[in-house]
Amino acid sequence: MAKSVRLQVITPSKLFYEGDVELVIAKTLSGEEGFMANHSWACKLLDTGELWIQEAGSKDFIEAAISGGFVDIKEDIIIYTDNAEWPTDIDTERAQNTRARMEQWLSEHSGADENPEDVALAKANLQKQIVRVKAAAHDGHRRK
C-alpha cells in the first residue's frame, strides 16, 4: 500500500475536502503536476482546471473543478482555491450558457481600445466555464 498524506481543499466559504490521499493531480501554471506523501516542500500557483484526487487505498480518482489558487506542500497538502465544485454539483446548462456569453462578449470586445482588465476577467470566466462543463461531463466517472 502506498503512503498517504493529508489533503485539505479550502475555499473562501468552506472546507471543500479533507482526507488521506495517495496522489493529487492539479493544473499548475506550468502544467499538470502530481503531489504525494514525502513530496519536497513547495508552494505553487494553480490554474483553473480539474483536480484529481486518489484517496488512500483506492485505485480510482475522484474529480473536482477548481478556479485557480495555490497549493502548499509540507507535511500535509493544502490547496487554497477561489472555488471548488464536484461534477455532480455543476449546473451544466448554466455553465454552457455562461460560456457562450463569454465567447460572444470576447468576440465583440477584442479590440485594442478595450479595457484589458475586462478582457482578462472575461477570459478567466470563459476558462472556468470550460473546465466546469468538462468536469460535469464526467459526472462522477473516475479516472483510472
Tens digit of pLDDT for each residue in 11-35?
A: 999 999 999 999 999 999 999 999 9
Do 69 and 92 lie in one domain? The reply is no
- Does the residue 93 lie in any domain? yes
Q: Report the first-to-last Cα separation within the chain, whole angstroms.
A: 17
Taking the CA of residue 66 as centre, how many other CA atoms within 13 Å lie in the half-sphere pointing to its CB?
A: 28
Low-confidence ranges of the chain (pLDDT < 70): 1, 139-144
Do 44 and 81 lie in one domain? The reply is yes
d(CA 21, CA 77): 9
Q: Which residues are CB-neighbours of 39 under 8 A, at least 6 positions away?
A: 5, 73, 77
The per-residue pLDDT for 143 is 46
In angstroms, the Cα distances linking 98 to 33, 57, 92 are 28, 38, 10
The per-residue pLDDT for 144 is 41
Domain-ending residue, one of 45, 60, 85: 85
Instruction: Write out the three cell numbers for 96.
Output: 454552457
Do 58 and 116 lie in one domain? The reply is no
Answer left, alpha or beta for residue 56, where phi above 0 means left and psi between -120 and 50 means alpha. Answer: beta
Domain-ending residue, one of 85, 101, 121: 85
Do 76 and 30 lie in one domain? The reply is yes
- Does the residue 44 lie in any domain? yes
Do 24 and 44 lie in one domain? The reply is yes
d(CA 118, CA 123): 9
Do 16 and 70 lie in one domain? The reply is yes
Do 38 and 64 lie in one domain? The reply is yes
Answer left, alpha or beta for residue 139, where phi above 0 means left and psi between -120 and 50 means alpha. Answer: left
The per-residue pLDDT for 139 is 59
Find the domain containing 118 and state its range: 87-138
d(CA 74, CA 41): 5
The per-residue pLDDT for 66 is 96
Domain-ending residue, one of 85, 101, 120: 85
The per-residue pLDDT for 110 is 73
Neighbouring C-beta atoms of residue 100, cutoff 10 Å: 12
Do 71 and 9 lie in one domain? The reply is yes
